[in-house]
Amino acid sequence: MSNSTAITGNLTRDPEIRYTRDGQASALLGVAVNRRWQDRETHEWEEATSFFDVVCWRDMAENVAMSLTKGARVMVTGRLEQRSWETELGERRSKIEIVADEIGASLRFATVELHRTERSERVAGGDADGNLVDAAAGAGA
């Protein structure tokens, strides 16, 4: 069974970029996915919005932070991961996030200008699934 998902929606805020203690970049995105359908009985149009937190790492995180802003329409593919933590009051919390493998700007309603970024001086290769693995930082995220 595969744990992959794809969504298309709009950024609810500018990407938030952070760095781990060892300098690894991560960016958090909020994506709103709208769904619209017509009620079969009333023929009225209905709408619902789902909100997703998306996390991306390393070069993609930096590229996303430099390229995308609130309102941008994006396509995200990745895997679902559950994260758990304990609050300062000792309460257990958890959430499900999408850890991005790819993020792209949608060209349905906009145009973009692409600029290839210089690769870091890291040794990178692919794993058995074709995912990029950064040998210097380990599998990390």
- Whether pLDDT at 135 is above 90: no
Q: Is residue 141 part of a domain?
A: no
Q: Is residue 140 part of a domain?
A: no
Question: Burial, 9: exposed, middle or buried (Cβ in 10 Å; 0-12, 13-18, 19+)?
Answer: buried
Distance of CA 126 to the CA centre of its chain: 20
What's the pLDDT score for residue 117?
Answer: 80
CA proximity to 7, closest of 112, 129, 98: 98
Q: Is residue 139 part of a domain?
A: no
- Round the average pLDDT of the chain to a whole number and report it: 86
Domain that holds residue 107: 5-134
CATH code for position 32: 2.40.50.140
Q: How many domains would you assign to the chain? A: 1
Q: For 72-125, what is each residue's pLDDT tens digit?
A: 999 999 999 999 999 999 999 999 999 999 999 999 888 888 888 876 554 444
This prediction's pTM? 0.74
